[in-house]
Amino acid sequence: MTALPLWVRRPSGERVGWLRTVDHKEIGVLYIGMGVAFFAIGGLEALLLRAQLATPESRLVDPSTYDQAFTVHGVTMILLAVVPLLVGFANYLVPLMIGAPDVAYPRLNALSFWLSLVGGIVLYFSFLAGGAPDTGWFSYAPLAERSFAPGLGVDYYIVGLAVNGAGTIIGAINLTVTILLMRCPGMAISRVPLFVWMTLVTSILILGAYPALTAALVMLFVDRQLGGHFFDPAGGGQVVLWQHLFWFFGHPEVYIMVLPAMGMISEIIPVFSGKPIFGYRFVAGSSVAIAFLSFGVWAHHMFAVGLGDTENAIFAATSMLIAVPTGVKIFNWIATMVGGRIRLTTAMLFAVGFIAMFVIGGLSGVSLAVVPIDLAVTDSYYVVAHLHYVLFGGTMLGIFAGAYYWFPKMTGRLLDEGLGKLHFWATFAGFNLTFLPQHWLGAVGMPRRVFTYAASTGWGPLNLVSTIGAAILAVAMVIFAVNLVRSLRSGEVAGDDPWDGFTLEWATSSPPPAENFPTIPAVTGRRPLWDRKHPDQRDRA
Amino acid sequence: MSASVAVGRGPSIAHDRVLLGVAVFIASESVFFLAIVLAYLAYRDAGLATAKANLDIPRTAIFSIALFSSSATMALAARHGSRSWLVATIALGAVFLAGQGSEYARLLASGIGPGRELFGTTFFTLTGLHGVHVLGGLVALFALLAAHIRRRSALRPVAFEAVGLYWHFVDAVWVVVFSVVYLGTLL
Amino acid sequence: MQAYPPIVRPPAEAIGTLALIVGAIALLIFIGVEGALIYAVWRYRASRSSTEQPARFERNTRVEIAWTALPALVLALVFVLMLGAMAEIGGAGVEPGLRVRVVGHQWWWEFGYGAVTTANELHIPVETAVELDLTSTDVIHSFWVPELGGKSDMLPGTTNHLRLFARRAGVYEGQCSEFCGIEHAWMRIRVVAESQADFDRWLAAQGQSAAARGGDGERIFLANICVNCHTIRGTTAAGAAGPDLTHAGARATLGAGVLPNDVARMRAWIADPQQYKPGALMPRVPLSDPELDALAAYLVSLK
Ligand code: HEA
Ligand code: HEA
Ligand code: CUA
Ligand SMILES: [Cu+2]
């Protein structure tokens, strides 16, 4: 058996220097590794939450631990797991897909990764320094002001997020320039794979959204450390300013977290349907529409704040409007399958699972955009259910699909399909068992972020079901971990093009050489590899 | 070097990796400043009286002129790949920062700091963040100067263009900040 | 007090109807989309059509326009329904029959009826439009009693308004729903909806000052730091950091729902509030057993 190609040696035989590498593929793997590690940590925190909530008036953990756990769980999953995972895939795949030897600024790329990681480490360092932040992932003022959160937790939150965000912004600049300027000959912007399109849109969203978060963090820092009054009502400040700034970042952030996953399944579904994507222009264009709209919906997180009926109605309208371009994507994916020859591999199963679950989360999202309904269920478990349906049912299933699909390219080895299917079905069952009941819990009155609930509320049984679901989900994740480790050691050798793929990453070896392609490919259509394999049936585009 | 760059025809943002990167970065930075400026405006009324009583417009205007003219020297430096114009730019930037420093010292001495009313909070945050950007620009200018001294002929003209682009941005932000914070008190 | 005109529904009912309609629409879309998805996967799976070549179609502008326009139309309908419901739950020009001032504190509620102040238990008359004026003294809280209406955040420095309406007498439970710190989970609300006559009687009783008892309990209360934080009208205790205790015995729970209210529990609470509500802003006051007994009996007697 040859040595592990992935983390020990480069295809050239030389050892990988993980600390010093500037190769986009290796940095991509570093990002993915960071995401996997933090996903496991965030998942364990989630299990702690679920364990505490399994029974009413439980005393398993004290309230302060619980508050830290959900705050760090949210921040970890969003900024330290999902975003790095998606950025990691983008780093690895974008240059390969556009036929480029590397990203535009390889050294800056390494900087982005290390900043993102250091930001995460700073956040976690708070545990050693007297307590993690415990004010929720959106850390509303004035609760996050020093008078109500005197510990250092929130300061670690500020510095950690600012550093992590700087890394993400630099990464987005890099990807934007790479996609705009480094496409190989013939790779017009109307021909780039949809994953690349969505990465471009995501990068632009990052560039527009993250600075608002940084600005808010700076202001909070001034308040906490220099005695400022930005969010201090006693000093004339307004507490809603924080909310405006945070959600101006926070809503685009949710699309930052779903568009690349949508890009992944836009690659996977056509390949396993044996057909080109249906409505390429609409799938790409709808992303632009989503990006545009997503800067105009932030106040739907603030319907209960009392902004006024007119403001609320306007933000409700823009929020509902986002369902239209999102629906366009869903319908095009289904139309891609229609008339195809569908190979239900694990990757395809996860892609189909993405659509199935994301629709549920999307529909609950639209119901939240309806102001009176939001007033009934905002800040309740209904919202928790919504966000996990889109983020786990959507993004994470998309990432799993991408993992099964591209793992062979990254490592030269296939993941096991048998374990993969087990992973899928266990995830599917565990996920729905965990989060479906939360819709009811929210509707009947269970607020989010409560470390316990009175037995008299009757919320016990559904919470128990939810906790059992989380345990099944944990088993599913262990199955995935086993699959990863086993395949890295002794997985079936994949070959360059195990799925009969369409796009350029499959035109080079697995894993690809340092320069990606021995010769720069020339492209005449949207499916360059298909064209090469079927010269008689070339795409017209 | 200076001869090799044709007048008025530098590398273009749409095709040069470095310039496009700086441009994209500037776009992102604009959102950052926009957020801070909006916060300043949101609290403007609450701080207006203090601002009127304490800000020294003429003095700051003079230091602002130093910063504004540094944009011109930067353009000349980029056009000619010239070391002396670069030094002039650095000097003007430093004069501006010194002016800011003395303004801060004066305000702090009269008891106005970031913790003193909304005016102090917003004023020091906004001008301080701008100052940090000027400082960053100065570091970039120094690096450029050092590179220019070390390998005079190898330096690509785009390095000048890129640092220049950023410097003009820092300058443009000050136009906004000066108008909002200082000239705004005249309204 | 003026009753709510029958044509206008309670906010909770207006929201319920709207949620039912939106839910039905969502269910239809859900069935349609998931049905199409499952059908496509099943019908075109490779094992079934192993001999067929996959089709090659990849665009159809008309279809795209249709599935862009159709959802937009559905959403336009939802939007219009939403506007109607918003006007309705906002009160739609109907004068409220009762106005209550609600102040959120970490982690208890202050309710004010004109000059009468009480805590944690909100009494309202049935069949009456009640308007709450909501604010907070510290962080953001949110008022939510699911069966009576939507919720509204309570922000320091701002007053928000929320309409409640109870058709039937009874006890309605709710709780603070904006995360407000360590005891957010135990910031529960009890709303007692009762007939107008019962309500008037209750309010009159709440308006009374506590008659001086002159007993040990009263003496101990007034001699300890309790008075720094609590008010008992009719005595010298006039603190404002904790709930008004003038009628502490008349409430069903202690500590915003964390314990039922009786002498034993009252004694336990005073002896060590941190054991039941860790982090709550009431300290443990060192008192002897007999002192605790007397204090608990006294407070529960304040009906
Ligand atoms: C990947 C992340 C993601 C995505 C994609 C979405 C998608 C959407 N979200 Fe969600 N949302 C979150 C992540 C996400 N959300 C998170 C994390 C929170 C909580 C933050 C916190 O408080 O902690 C949140 C909270 C949240 C709220 C605030 C709730 C509250 O706190 O009170 C609202 C309110 O409007 C909302 C709305 C929407 C809408 C309208 C969409 C739409 O984009 C959905 C569009 C998709 C569809 C509708 C399905 C497919 C479409 C069709 C099949 C076409 C036909 C459909 C119709 C005609 C309806 N979301
Ligand atoms: C992408 C984002 C994401 C993801 C994937 C998840 C995943 C999960 N989340 Fe999370 N969640 C959020 C984002 C996410 N969450 C956010 C933003 C909030 C709001 C926070 C706030 O209010 O501030 C939240 C809040 C939240 C709550 C509400 C807390 C509260 O309001 O009090 C709950 C409760 O059930 C919960 C549960 C879960 C569960 C059970 C999972 C499961 O899916 C987790 C499954 C994963 C595992 C079980 C890990 C398995 C790993 C192992 C078994 C270890 C293996 C070991 C090695 C490989 C070393 N989440
Ligand atoms: Cu008060 Cu939560
Ligand atoms: Cu949103």
B14: pLDDT confidence band, cut at 50, 70 and 90?
confident
**Count of domains in chain B?**
1
CB atoms closer than 10 angstroms to residue C56: 12
Residue A474 near ligand 2, beta carbon < 6 Å: yes
Is residue B3 domain-resident? no
Across C192-207, average pLDDT: 95
Collapse the DSSP code of A398 into the 3-class scheme (helix H, G, I; strand E, B; otherwise coil) and give the result: helix
B8: pLDDT confidence band, cut at 50, 70 and 90?
very low
Q: Worst-scoring range by mean pLDDT, A177-181, A363-367, B45-49, C78-82?
A: B45-49
pLDDT at residue A251 above 90? yes
3-state secondary structure chain C: CCCCCCCCCCHHHHHHHHHHHHHHHHHHHHHHHHHHHHHHHHHCECCCCCCCCCCCCCCCHHHHHHHHHHHHHHHHHHHHHHHHHHHHHCCCCCCCCEEEEEEEECCEEEEEECCEEEECEEEEECCCCEEEEEEECCCCEEEECCCCCCEEEECECCCEEEEECCCCCEEEEEECCCCCCCCHHHCEEEEEEECHHHHHHHHHHHHCCCCCCCCHHHHHHHHCCHHHHCECECECCECCCCCCCCCHHHCCEECCCCEECCHHHHHHHHHCHHHHCCCCCCCCCCCCHHHHHHHHHHHHHCC
C63: pLDDT confidence band, cut at 50, 70 and 90?
confident
Residue A251 contacts residue A297 (beta carbons within 8 Å):
yes
A325: pLDDT confidence band, cut at 50, 70 and 90?
very high
Query: What is the nearest CA distance from A208 to chain B, expressed in angstroms?
Result: 6
Q: Which residues pair with C174 in a beta bridge?
A: C189
Across C58-63, average pLDDT: 86
**DSSP string covering B132-165, please?**
HHHHHHHHHHHHHHHHHHHSTTT--HHHHHHHHH
Comparing A219 with C63, the larger pLDDT belongs to: A219
For residues C295 and C239, state if they share a domain. Answer: yes
| The pLDDT of residue A129 | 86
Is residue C128 domain-resident? yes
Is residue C186 domain-resident? yes
For the stretch A419-447, pLDDT in tens is: 999 999 999 999 999 999 999 999 999 99
C-alpha neighbours within 13 Å on the C-beta side of residue B155: 24
Across A153-173, average pLDDT: 97
Considering C170, C198, C226, which residue would you say is the last residue of a domain?
C198
For the stretch B26-55, pLDDT in tens is: 999 999 999 999 999 999 998 899 999 989
Considering C198, C229, C252, which residue would you say is the last residue of a domain?
C198
A531: pLDDT confidence band, cut at 50, 70 and 90?
confident
Comparing A13 with A331, the larger pLDDT belongs to: A331
| The pLDDT of residue A481 | 97
Is residue B9 domain-resident? no
What was the ipTM of the complex prediction?
0.95
A540: pLDDT confidence band, cut at 50, 70 and 90?
low
| The pLDDT of residue B15 | 84
A179: pLDDT confidence band, cut at 50, 70 and 90?
very high
Residue A270's closest chain C neighbor by CA? C58
Q: Cα(A472)–Cα(A367) distance, rounded to whole angstroms? A: 28
pLDDT at residue C50 above 80? no
pLDDT at residue A5 above 60? no
**Pocket residue to mutate for ligand 2, from A83, A390, A392, A434, most atoms within 8 A of Cβ:** A392
Residue A468 near ligand 2, beta carbon < 6 Å: no
Is residue C64 domain-resident? no
Is residue B114 domain-resident? yes
Residue A391 near ligand 2, beta carbon < 6 Å: yes
Question: What DSSP character marks residue A150?
Answer: -
Across B146-162, average pLDDT: 80
Residue C120 contacts residue C189 (beta carbons within 8 Å):
yes
Which ligand number lies closest to the CA of residue A316?
Answer: 1
| The pLDDT of residue B76 | 92
For the stretch A24-52, pLDDT in tens is: 999 999 999 999 999 999 999 999 999 99
Across B74-95, average pLDDT: 91
Is residue B38 domain-resident? yes
| The pLDDT of residue A484 | 95
Task: Tell me the chain A residues in contact with residue C273 when contact means C-beta distances shorter than 8 Å.
Answer: none
Is residue C24 domain-resident? no
Task: Collect all residues with Cβ–Cβ distance below 8 Å to A295 and sequence separation of at least 6.
Answer: A208, A209, A248, A251, A252
Contact of B25 with chain A, judged by CB distance below 8 Å, is answered with yes
B5: pLDDT confidence band, cut at 50, 70 and 90?
very low
**Count of domains in chain C?**
2
Q: Cα(A254)–Cα(A88) distance, rounded to whole angstroms? A: 17
Contact of A165 with chain B, judged by CB distance below 8 Å, is answered with no
pLDDT at residue A520 above 80? no
For residues C170 and C261, state if they share a domain. Answer: no
Q: For chains A and B, what is the number of CB pairs under 8 angstroms?
A: 92
Which ligand number lies closest to the CA of residue A297?
Answer: 4
Parent domain of B51: 14-186
Across C186-196, average pLDDT: 96
Comparing B2 with A43, the larger pLDDT belongs to: A43
Q: Worst-scoring range by mean pLDDT, A201-205, C53-57, C157-161, C233-237?
A: C53-57
For the stretch A399-426, pLDDT in tens is: 999 999 999 999 999 999 999 999 999 9
Which of A328, A379, A453 lies closest to C67 in CB terms?
A328
Q: Cα(B56)–Cα(B65) distance, rounded to whole angstroms? A: 15
Question: How would you classify the pairing of strands C130-136 and C98-105?
Answer: parallel
> Which ligand 3 atom is at minimum distance from the Cα of A449?
2
Is residue C175 domain-resident? yes
Give Cα separations from A380 to A47, A77, A103, C142 (angstroms): 19, 19, 43, 11
pLDDT at residue B2 above 60? no
pLDDT at residue A131 above 80? yes
Q: How far is the CA of A176 from the centre of ligand 1 (A)?
A: 26
Q: At what angle do helices B157-177 and B57-80 cross, to 10 degrees?
A: 160
For the stretch A135-146, pLDDT in tens is: 999 999 999 999
Q: At what angle do helices C289-301 and C263-271 cross, to 10 degrees?
A: 130
Is residue B8 domain-resident? no
Q: What is the CATH number of the domain that holds C268?
A: 2.60.40.420
For the stretch A59-114, pLDDT in tens is: 999 999 999 999 999 999 999 999 999 999 999 999 999 999 999 999 999 999 99
For residues C221 and C194, state if they share a domain. Answer: no
- Residue with CA at minimum distance from ligand 3 atom 1: C141
Is residue C191 domain-resident? yes
Which ligand number lies closest to the CA of residue A254?
Answer: 1
- Mean per-residue pLDDT of chain A: 94
| The pLDDT of residue A309 | 92
Contact of A176 with chain B, judged by CB distance below 8 Å, is answered with yes
CB atoms closer than 10 angstroms to residue A130: 10
Q: What is the CATH number of the domain that holds B92?
A: 1.20.120.80
Percent of chain C, pLDDT > 70? 96
Q: Which residues pair with A447 in a beta bridge?
A: A380
Enumerate residues 69 to 98 of chain B having a beta carbon within 8 A of any beta carbon in chain A: none
Residue A254 near ligand 1, beta carbon < 6 Å: yes
Parent domain of C233: 216-300
Would you call C26 and A278 a contact, using CB atoms and an 8 Å cutoff? Answer: no
| The pLDDT of residue C49 | 64
Is residue C187 domain-resident? yes
Can you state the percent helix, strand and coil of chain B, rounding each to 5? Answer: 85, 0, 15
Residue A461 — φ and ψ, nearest 5°? -55, -45
Across B12-35, average pLDDT: 93
pLDDT at residue C4 above 50? no
Q: How far is the CA of A78 from the centre of ligand 4 (A)?
A: 14
Enumerate residues 240 to 269 of chain A having a beta carbon within 8 A of any beta carbon in chain C: 240
pLDDT at residue C91 above 90? no
The pTM score is 0.96
Is residue C87 domain-resident? no
Chain A interface mutation, best of B15, B17, B25, B28, highest count of A Cβ atoms under 10 Å: B28
Contact of B125 with chain A, judged by CB distance below 8 Å, is answered with yes
| The pLDDT of residue B19 | 93
Q: How far is the CA of A203 from the centre of ligand 4 (A)?
A: 18
Query: What is the nearest CA distance from A336 to chain C, expressed in angstroms?
Result: 7
